[in-house]
Structure 1
Amino acid sequence: MGLTFMGTISRVALSFGPFTVYWYGVIIGAAMLLGINLASREGKNRGLEEDAIIDMMIWAIPTGLVGARIYYLLFEWQYYIQNPADIIAIWKGGIAIYGGLIAGGLAVYWFTKKKGIPFSLMLDILAPYVLLAQSIGRWGNFINQEAHGEAVTRTFLENLYLPKFIIDQMQINGTYYHPTFLYESLWSLLGFAIIIMLRNRKNLLRRGEVALSYVIWYSVGRFFIEGMRTDSLWMGDFLRVSQGLSLLLFVGAIAIWIYRRRDYPPKAYYLKGWKLK
């Protein structure tokens, strides 16, 4: 079940009886668990109760998954109205990160207001690990042979010094494609490392600016990588949805950063945490 005779990786991780476990779900689940574990540790360091992150994720994860699916369905409704049975077939792919972030963010906002935790601090705690989870999650797209770019030659891929298993998986029906999943995965991983480094410097980032750094970084990468993909969701015939949203988020995050820096008294530094002496 791991490799087919053609050298490509099977989408199926495990099957037993009528049940099938797909690599896509395994990878997404593992990314979420790692992010939750790391965020829980950081939350404790910043003064949150030990189970605060886990309690919040009980609401945020299912809400985010539903939001990610609804976002995708809204822009592919012509297909799903003809194939209603596929609406719940999330194991086939078809979730949108931005939809998940929007819906999950609303759940986080509700939770923090209920618990009296600063919303901006919670976003700061979560943001780097969301980016790390996104980096890992893109490998689910790799297994599914989706989220790729235009056709290229095998020589082009070999000149990128990619491992053979990636090159082989980028061959779909006899044609090789840009591994845009990999570009976004590496961009997100680099962003995770940079944001963690900046976040841990004293008297640098104020509360809310870790999350804004995430928005700025991811939006830039997604804008350019989205332009290379062949499976983009479109708004009409002239605008890729994710590029438009990336541009809006990039400008909005910078504007909010500048506005918040003008506040007096100034926002507390991130490392000060919450209820910490």
Structure 2
Amino acid sequence: MMLAFQFQSPGPVFFEIGPIAVRWYGFLIASAVLIGVTLSQYLAKRRHINPDLIADVAIWVIISAIVGARIYYVLFEWQDYVNRPGDIIAIWKGGIAIHGAMIGGALAAAIFARLNKISIWQLTDVLVPSLALGQMIGRWGNFFNSEAFGRPTDLPWKLYIPPSRRPPEYLQYDYFHPTFLYESIWNLLVFCLLMYLFFWGLRHRNRLKVGTLTLIYFIAYSLGRFWIEGLRTDSLMLGSLRIAQVVSIIGVIIGIGGLIWLYRTGRPLPDVVSSKPPINRDAEN
């Protein structure tokens, strides 16, 4: 029974065609992007937003997210790059951070919304369910790479990590917390919550204010990431603080503060535009 819950990566390579190796991580991320764009376009139609905007903003967000994720990681691991600056752009060697990707993607989305005269909150409300789903899928890339795991454990759902991937202080241990699995399950729950609220909002018009889904995503994702980060062995640190936990606390504060602003004051959230978003008259009801 114990063995039934033991995880072990088969390796990072999905398949090879001659000299070309397709890695699981890349395949999963590409799949998450495709599924996410399709889902957000569908949600945009239900919110009477031109779905073509989603495909356009996706390009902005993906590029900015990759750049942001790399810059974020390098800044907090600068001691590893100060003597080899050429590796700063070597993203294929690993080293990205989801919070950096979220910051970079959010900035790109805000600029896009401003240029296209659409509410940033209308836009992000149809993007965050796809973001949660994409994070759920993408975390399995950590499994195949044998990375982003937790402290040693002997629980039934333990994860085997090969010696070459273990931190030096844990070389004598074979099994670790599968934090990739914890976060994947958590993100799936966040996705289900957001989708439920999205369609609840459609049935109860004007009950779910613009920006609510985005703020709930901030809270829900951050709560899960905070406790999961406490188990990990590879956290980005600032002194004795785990940066992901600090950012998670900020995310919860922003989310709760935003909900209080929306539902206690009755005022809309600060936005990049003052006009209403473009309406797609041909969208489905």
Alignment of 1:197-276 (within 5 A): 197-201=196-200, 202-203=204-205, 204-236=207-239, 238-264=240-266, 275=279
Kindly indicate whether the alpha-carbon contact (under 8 Å) linking 1:28 and 1:136 is maintained by their aligned counterparts in 2.
yes
TM-score (norm 1): 0.85
Give the aligned partner of residue 196 of structure 1: 195
Structure 1 vs Structure 2: percent identity of aligned residues? 44
Give the aligned partner of residue 178 of structure 1: 177
Question: Which structure 2 residue ranges, 5 or more long, are not aligned?
Answer: 1-7, 164-172, 270-275
Q: Any idea what the Cα deviations from partners look like across 1:35-74, whole Å, max 9, x if unmatched?
A: 1110011112222223110011111111111101110111
* More off after superposition, 101-110 vs 253-262: 253-262
CA drift at 1:129:
0.9
Q: CA separation of 1:276/1:24 partners in 2, compared to 1, >3 Å: closer, same or farther?
A: closer
Kindly indicate whether the alpha-carbon contact (under 8 Å) linking 2:148 and 2:232 is maintained by their aligned counterparts in 1.
yes
Question: Which structure 1 residue ranges, 5 or more long, are not aligned?
Answer: 1-6, 161-166
Kindly indicate whether the alpha-carbon contact (under 8 Å) linking 1:46 and 1:276 is maintained by their aligned counterparts in 2.
no
Give the aligned partner of residue 12 of structure 2: 11
TM-score (norm 2): 0.83
**Number of matched pairs:** 255
Q: Any idea what the Cα deviations from partners look like across 1:206-249, whole Å, max 9, x if unmatched?
A: 1000000000000100011001100000011x210010110011
Kindly indicate whether the alpha-carbon contact (under 8 Å) linking 1:22 and 1:91 is maintained by their aligned counterparts in 2.
no
Kindly indicate whether the alpha-carbon contact (under 8 Å) linking 1:147 and 1:181 is maintained by their aligned counterparts in 2.
yes
Q: Secondary structure at the match of 1:120?
A: helix
Residue type of the alignment partner of 1:275? I
* More off after superposition, 110-119 vs 207-216: 110-119
Q: Any idea what the Cα deviations from partners look like across 1:91-126, whole Å, max 9, x if unmatched?
A: 343211111111111111111111111111101000
CA distance in 2, matches of 1:98, 1:171: 25
**1:106 has 2:110 as partner:** no
| Root-mean-square deviation over aligned CA pairs | 2.2
CA distance in 1, matches of 2:15, 2:34: 20
CA distance in 2, matches of 1:170, 1:87: 30
Q: Secondary structure at the match of 1:243?
A: helix
Kindly indicate whether the alpha-carbon contact (under 8 Å) linking 1:46 and 1:274 is maintained by their aligned counterparts in 2.
no
Q: CA separation of 1:265/1:233 partners in 2, compared to 1, >3 Å: closer, same or farther?
A: closer
Q: CA separation of 1:57/1:8 partners in 2, compared to 1, >3 Å: closer, same or farther?
A: closer
Q: Relative contact order (C-alpha < 8 Å, sep 6+): which is higher?
A: 2
Give the aligned partner of residue 28 of structure 2: 27
CA drift at 1:145:
0.7
